[in-house]
Amino acid sequence: MLTEFLLREKRNEISAKELEKIKSDVVDSALPKFIEKYKKVAYIINGNFPERLKKLIEEKERIHTKIYF
């Protein structure tokens, strides 16, 4: 559901409120509430490509989904 939503909208980020509304099965259902409560940002990356984590930290990676408050 989340992937289809983001592809349809042609973007790689979503607010915690939007994520909660679409009831994604990609992340734990408590994550949107946590992000909103603590004003944090989370990134989803494909675990089949561990090098993407390093690139994300170095701000070189663009293949991710950002969840913001």
Q: What is the pLDDT of residues 12-59, one digit of tens each?
A: 899 999 999 987 888 999 999 999 999 999 999 988 998 999 999 998
| pLDDT at site 26 | 85
pLDDT, position 36: 96
**pLDDT for the residue 61:** 77
pLDDT of residue 33: 95
3-state per-residue secondary structure call for 3-17: HHHHHHHCCCEEEHH
Q: Please give the pLDDT value at position 7.
A: 72
Query: Cα separation of 26 and 30, whole Å?
Result: 12
What number is the average pLDDT over the span 53-69? 89
Tokens (6 digits) for 1: 């559901």
Q: Is 63 left (phi over 0), alpha (psi -120 to 50) or beta?
A: beta
